Chain A
Amino acid sequence: MSQRKITFIQAVREAFQEEMRRDERVFVLGQDVQAGIFGTTSGLVREFGQERVINTPICESATVGAALGAAMTGMRPVVQIMFGDFNYMAMEITANQAGQWHYISDGALRAPMVIETPSGARGGAGYGHSQSLEAAFILPPGLKVAVPSTPYDAKGLLKSAIRDDNPVLFFEHRRLLTQRGPVPEEEYLIPLGQADVKREGRDVTLVAVSATVQKALRAAEELSRRGVEVEVIDPRTLVPLDKETIFRSLQKTYRLVVVEEGRRRGGFGAELSATAMDEWFDYLDAPVQRLGAISAPLPYSPVLEAACIPSEEDIVHAVLRVLGEEE
């Protein structure tokens, strides 16, 4: 692998370029995708033209509806929803329609589409531009949910999402967008449903979602200095979920911590904890620890916002609790 380092934004843009060159059915639509509000689609219009990089009126539901209609009739659209929060405006189309018609048509229809959506708390964006809503898309059937945490994963997952025959939600945490990471020049894909062990360790299995992967890795360094070796697993997709990789780790550690920036109540951690109880009860030496945002709106002041979502320190304490070293 080359040592080239590019930003998350560049990695996503390369995925668009490669897939649009490869398959003329792929096109992008959304608000300001020609200029590219966060940069992931910037410049695409120069290479692919306005027919394949389409600025839409401000209406998330009709835009996702248009993507769905195009997907059902032979195209492979990527629709950008500028902020993750705005997915609720299109939730009827995404949850009631996009994820369901393949099934209720008994396979006659397919919806190969991606919803690319920058999201997450980055300090000072307020209650309606900051939420991490990945878990809201676990509940409806028929959807897939990608939550990349590195430029490498973002590129490989987006390319797979575009080639997938199902609707895929692709969440891009805005704190990650300008971060750099190694991305090879040569083409690669990352299958949806394959977790990545970001750090190996023997004592505790720590599953972290999206931007919390970095917090988890820093917490793991801190814990290592105290003699605790944490295994950090990034599921990379919440649906489908690579349970095998998590279970393999648990068979070594017998202790599970899960952290996400989405709300703890009804969140991914709740689902994973229930899975652990259902399927891996004999491999748990302690109750699962789960961390997520409090069930309150995210307030504007960066100080208040930070108090709502899990910190590196919170993760350290959760690991110590699962080890019985703290109450």
Chain B
Amino acid sequence: MPLENGKLKELYRKMVTVRTLEQRVEQLVTAARIPCSGHFGTGQEAVGVGVSGPLRTDDYLFGTHRGFAEYIGKGMTPAEILTEYYGKATSLSRGRLGQHLLKVDIGVMPLPSSLGSEFGMAVGAALSSKLRGSGQVAVNLFGEGTAGQADFGPALEMASLWSLPLIFACNNNQYVELAHYRNVVATEDIAPRAAGYGVAYEIVDGNDITRVYEATERAVERARNGGGPMLLEFKTYRRGSHYTGDPGGYQPAEEIAAWAKKDPIDRCRERMLADGVWSEAEEQALRQAVQDEIDAAVQFAEESPYPDPATVYEHIYAQGGMSA
């Protein structure tokens, strides 16, 4: 289905929230207010926001380490993200997860430190959905570099063999850590690998929020109706560094500038303005509202207490079941 204007505005708001929040968190990391480093995704916000856009609340999302797009997209708030990054007692995990954003009750599933370890887990979530007949779809977002992990092929194989409701969503931002992906990835496209396992695939402009959303929506509906898995590859570009404070210098300035002209937020706004569904006044109001929300979230995280060290002994094992 074509994207409705109301939904498009919601996606736009989320993209603006993601970029504003990422810029703010990067400042907080640099200022050592936040103990971890950060991996941000300036220029690729349309992928995570667009992929999570068509999902039901109970659909499973296995996201990436880069940026907040799919996490804001799936419904996490800036305050939930900031309190995790700060390691504060008010975070959903009470200071245990940090960058590994998780919110189980809206289907935000584990982001393993060892990227690619979620391939099997996403298969399992989709298998579970199928066995329970729940109609839930699982989406596994991963980078083109993570496609090198050992479980990628077997996950495609299992999803294909068992016709699972699982969407493999490759966010190809062209940089694998500190190197252009063609240094370490043998082919320009990841998507055709799916064919080797009998899985359908599609390559999509990852800087066009409408195309990302609509391609994902088609794949999700197909999977929900028993059509099996699909691999979507979104072509985008990471304009920022791998991590805050990395040495830099490996991305040509003209390459960054060329992709800046294809910025997904600018493209979305210009199209909405041209179509007459968005105004400068709405833009100003949105920017202010997003800024206010993030300011409040930063203040909340700053003022929140750290967890009580005595809590480290809690939840090592799940109680219940037969024995503890």
CA of A97 to CA of B119, assembled, Å? 12
Question: Residue A102 at the B interface, CB < 8 A?
Answer: yes
Residues of A within 8 A of B105 (CB): 108
A65 and B114 form a contact (CB under 8 A): no
Taking CB atoms and an 8 Å cut-off, the chain B residues in 112-165 that contact chain A are 112-114, 117-129, 131-132, 138, 150-151, 154-155, 157-158, 161-162
| B151 closest partner in A (C-beta) | A62
Find out whether the CB atom of B124 lies under 8 angstroms from the CB atom of A166: no
A149 in the interface (beta carbon within 8 A): no
In the bound complex, CA of A134 to CA of B316 (Å): 20
CB pair B93 A165 closer than 8 Å: no
* In contact, B119 and A62 (Cβ under 8 angstroms): yes
Can you name the residue of chain A whose Cβ is closest to the Cβ of B109? A72
Spot the interface stretch: B32-40, B94-102, B215-223: B94-102
Instruction: State whether the Cβ of A42 lies closer than 8 Å to any Cβ in chain B.
Output: no
* A104 vs B112: C-alpha distance when bound (angstroms): 11
Q: Tell me the residues in window 85-113 of chain A with beta carbons closer than 8 Å to chain B beta carbons.
A: 92-93, 96-97, 101-112
Partner of B317, one of A106, A108, A142: A142
Q: Would you call B319 an interface residue if the criterion is a C-beta within 8 Å of the partner chain's C-beta atoms? A: yes
Interface size range of chain B in the complex:
35 or more
Q: How far is the CA of A61 from the CA of B138 in the complex (A)?
A: 19
A residues less than 8 Å from B2 (CB atoms):
none
A75 lies within 8 A of B128 (CB): yes
Count the A residues whose beta carbon is within 8 Å of the partner chain — how many? 53
Q: For residues 36 through 64 of chain A, which have their beta carbon under 8 Å from a beta carbon of chain B?
A: 51-52, 54, 56-57, 59, 61-64
B322 to chain A, nearest CB (A): 4
What separation, in Å, do the CA atoms of A142 and B318 have in the docked complex?
A: 9
* Given A69-B121, A191-B323, 5 extra CB contacts under 8 A: A61-B150, A74-B128, A75-B124, A75-B127, A164-B322
Mark A residues whose CB is within 8 Å of B: 27, 51-52, 54, 56-57, 59, 61-75, 77, 92-93, 96-97, 101-112, 141-142, 144, 159-160, 163-166, 189, 191-193, 240
- Which B positions have Cβ atoms within 8 angstroms of A? 60, 92-94, 96-97, 100, 102, 104-105, 109-110, 112-114, 117-129, 131-132, 138, 150-151, 154-155, 157-158, 161-162, 314-324
28 A–B pairs (Cβ distance < 8 Å), ordered by A: A51-B131, A62-B123, A65-B119, A65-B120, A68-B120, A69-B127, A72-B125, A73-B128, A74-B128, A74-B132, A75-B131, A77-B124, A97-B110, A102-B315, A102-B317, A103-B96, A103-B316, A104-B100, A105-B102, A106-B314, A106-B315, A108-B92, A108-B93, A111-B318, A163-B321, A164-B323, A166-B317, A191-B323
